[in-house]
Structure 1
Amino acid sequence: MTSTEVHNSYPGAWETFLGVVTAVVSLAVFLSYGFSLWQRLVAIGAVAAIVVLHLVWGRAVIRGERGNVPLLAAELALFAVAIVTVPVMNWLLFAMIPLIFQMVHLRAAVIAIVAIVLVPPVADLFLRPQQIIADLIIAVISAASGIWLGFWITRVIEQSIERRQLIADLEASRTEIARLSREAERTHLAAEIHDTLAQGFTSIITLLQSVDPALRDERLALAVRTAKENLAEARALVGALSPSPLASASLPEAVRRQASRFAEESGVPATFRTSGDERTLPTAVEVVLLRAAQEALTNVRRHAEANEASVLLAYTPSCVRLVVRDDGQGFVPSSADGFGLSGMRQRATQINGDLRVRSTPEAGTTIELEVPA
């Protein structure tokens, strides 16, 4: 966990805690009669400097905008001055420990805590030898409790961040499912219009023209014109309900754009090529092929950790094949239906297509969709 995540998990709470503890301890020291006035003023001044450093510099450090080690060293030095001058200032550990865990990673924080709790016993060697045993015991207790508190704080915040990320992922998944559901409904409606109304109007026009090829009969001519107008409307509806990439481009161009967008967003090089004689396909077939390319490239970006990817759209006299390959970490296909493969298989089945997935761990993945067309 980074210091930014710790700090941003409870914005303002750490500053409030630091302010309250330092104010209470400073007031107690100022009112104490066990130390001279200059000792109390030096200790309180050091603590005040810690607070000022945090407000002026510490917030930027914790957010990751600057280096954090110099600030931590400065604050620990001031803390050491306060403890050496007035030993009861070690109560500030309750405020310093969370601050330390915000500024550095766990291992460095543990080292810093051990170092700071050893300041009083080391000072006792020169200033108060009679207190060294008591301060050593306090140091051990303070270090143990401080490290435990740090681990506990870190774990609590990690769980909070994990829950927040999980909620964000669930919201994103729900939004994506809703979008895919709407697109599937539009695609299904477009296919129905294409396969029923459009085909029906075409058949009506053909039948009427077979009766009177020259359309001398005005009633037949009117019926043909009406059927053609409605056929145009049906085709316009099919175009409007089709996915936007297909509405403004051919299938190869739409897939090429998906590969280019993938490379731009992920930073992974992606090539696209076609083979065979390109031809117009039924709308439902083009939609399934485009969606398969999008889903396969999405999986490469999210899961593969690949160095490169390639997309092939191959036209043969009897079918069209879409092949998406990557050189990533691979997976076991039988345990990866969560990667969107089940949805791809369902869409392929609707148009009598065949989806094949070949992958092994550390050996990349190949997804191939073959559609009779």
Structure 2
Amino acid sequence: MSGRAADRRWDSSFWLWDLYVVGGCAAIAIGLFFVGDPAAPHPLWGALALCGIAACHLVVGRRVILSRERGWRAQAFVAAILVLFVAAVLFAPASMSAIVVLYPLTFMSLPLGKALAVTTLVTAIPVVTVVVKFGWDAAQTRMVLSVGLMAFVVAPLIGTWITRTVLQSEERADLLDELAARRADVERLSRDAGTAAERARLAREIHDTLAQGFTSIVALAQAIESELDSAPEQAKRHLALVASTARENLVEARAMVATLTPSALGAGTLVDAVRRQAQRLALESGIAVEVEAPADLRRLPTAAEVVLLRSAQEALANVGRHAHATRVTVHIEETADGVLLRTVDDGAGFDVTSVEGYGLSGMRARAEEAGGSCRVSSTPGAGTAVEVEVPA
């Protein structure tokens, strides 16, 4: 429950306090007519003063208490009910019983220190007034004095309890509001983190599929331009490969929009998809590409196969663009923990400590997200080996 909900719950149950105040004042006012006090032949005025206390609460007091206002309105409200209480005791000393109504209203309207001072006055003024009016030996004095002494002892206890209860309720409401705000912050941060992760994943998907395909199309178009006059048959083959690559890119784009599952995996096994990527590299670049894999390679979860396929695509694309290799071997094997894909070329190699493009970092991120690992080993002039392992 939020702090505002707690406030609404308090507001909705405040009618019980209204009932207590009005009922208490009414009961005491009615009782004045049955006390039979000879010193108070006109209890009507005392009863009217008590009714005035109830009216003040309904008109002003409840609004002050519910708003937790501690300013001049609260002080004016307490002053008004104090004057009415003293008047009620003067007209009918038995009205002293109304302190059971006055004390809670005072402590709910004022800070603890001021409330204690006011309740002391509430207790002392009627006692002094009755003593002056009736003397020490009067029955009314003994009754008012006994009630006053008892109230003097009980008032701090009642006040402390009421104040502590109100403060705890306010602190609890503030804490609930703070918790609700923190929960909203956590939900927002989670959404932001999820959005960022999804953007990164889509960026890797686009880089490993559409961008690779477009790069191949550009390379083939450049080759066709130089072959149109000198090698028209080779140009025709490359032109057919351009059309094939464009169609595959279109299929990948549609698959990405639909399910983000590579269409190459939907057409067969992981090994089949890797072989198609290898054949494409061989046709585009003339590099000898060999794929070694067991015929009964176990099927992996789709997410794991996506990681291996994208890793093979990236590794082969890097060979075609950067390695200047003549031969590439893609080896797929089962391990104790999962499946290992290893791509080895005899190209120029590079310094792995100083070069890492988006493709390699994306490959590593994919593997780690799937609970696997990615290792790149290379030495300038000695080729490159890329190993990606994912759990089964």
TM-score relative to the length of structure 2: 0.52
Select the residue among 125, 148, 152 that pairs with 2:157. 148
Shift of 1:104: 1.7
Q: Deviations over 1:103-137 (max 9, x none)?
A: 22211111110001012321133212225566445
RMSD: 3.6
The change in CA–CA distance for 1:91 and 1:60 in structure 2 (over 3 A counts) is: same
Query: Aligned residue for 2:246?
Result: 224
C-alpha distance in 2 between matches for 1:169 and 1:70 = 33
Query: Aligned residue for 2:213?
Result: 204
Aligned sequence identity (%): 22
C-alpha distance in 2 between matches for 1:233 and 1:5 = 52
CA contact (8 A) 2:94 2:144 kept: no
Count, aligned residues: 236
Does residue 12 in structure 1 map to residue 15 in structure 2? yes
Q: Deviations over 1:130-173 (max 9, x none)?
A: 25566445323202212211110121232233333333433443
Code of the residue aligned with 1:50 in structure 2: it is I
TM-score relative to the length of structure 1: 0.54
The change in CA–CA distance for 1:60 and 1:198 in structure 2 (over 3 A counts) is: same
Q: Deviations over 1:170-224 (max 9, x none)?
A: 3443343233223322321210221243344212221332233258614414523
Does residue 52 in structure 1 map to residue 55 in structure 2? yes
The change in CA–CA distance for 1:41 and 1:113 in structure 2 (over 3 A counts) is: same
CA contact (8 A) 1:49 1:78 kept: yes
Say which SS state the counterpart of residue 34 (structure 1) adopts.
Answer: coil
Shift of 1:52: 1.5
C-alpha distance in 2 between matches for 1:13 and 1:142 = 23
Say which SS state the counterpart of residue 73 (structure 2) adopts.
Answer: coil
Does residue 61 in structure 1 map to residue 64 in structure 2? yes
Query: Aligned residue for 1:195?
Result: 204
Does residue 21 in structure 1 map to residue 24 in structure 2? yes
CA contact (8 A) 2:78 2:109 kept: yes
Query: Aligned residue for 1:76?
Result: 82
CA contact (8 A) 1:6 1:157 kept: no
C-alpha distance in 2 between matches for 1:125 and 1:224 = 108
Q: Which moves more between the two structures, 222-231 or 158-167? A: 222-231
What 5-or-longer segments of structure 1 have no aligned partner? 239-349, 351-373
Select the residue among 111, 114, 118 that pairs with 1:108. 114
C-alpha distance in 2 between matches for 1:67 and 1:135 = 30
Correspondence list, 1:118-197, <5 A: 118-129=124-135, 130-131=137-138, 135-197=144-206
The change in CA–CA distance for 1:7 and 1:185 in structure 2 (over 3 A counts) is: closer
CA contact (8 A) 1:60 1:66 kept: no
The change in CA–CA distance for 1:233 and 1:158 in structure 2 (over 3 A counts) is: farther
Say which SS state the counterpart of residue 127 (structure 1) adopts.
Answer: helix
C-alpha distance in 1 between matches for 2:40 and 2:153 = 33
C-alpha distance in 2 between matches for 1:120 and 1:37 = 15
Say which SS state the counterpart of residue 23 (structure 2) adopts.
Answer: helix
Code of the residue aligned with 1:118 in structure 2: it is A
Query: Aligned residue for 1:39?
Result: 42
CA contact (8 A) 2:103 2:119 kept: yes
The change in CA–CA distance for 1:45 and 1:97 in structure 2 (over 3 A counts) is: same
The change in CA–CA distance for 1:174 and 1:165 in structure 2 (over 3 A counts) is: same
Say which SS state the counterpart of residue 118 (structure 1) adopts.
Answer: helix
Q: Deviations over 1:24-44 (max 9, x none)?
A: 111211222124675310100
Please identify the structure whose Cα radius of gyration is greater. 2
The change in CA–CA distance for 1:98 and 1:6 in structure 2 (over 3 A counts) is: farther
C-alpha distance in 2 between matches for 1:5 and 1:186 = 36
Code of the residue aligned with 1:18 in structure 2: it is V
CA contact (8 A) 2:88 2:95 kept: yes
C-alpha distance in 1 between matches for 2:174 and 2:72 = 26
C-alpha distance in 2 between matches for 1:165 and 1:202 = 53
Correspondence list, 1:252-331, <5 A: none
Shift of 1:6: 12
Question: Deviating runs (4+, > 6 A) in structure 1?
Answer: 4-7, 231-235
Q: Which moves more between the two structures, 195-204 or 87-96? A: 195-204
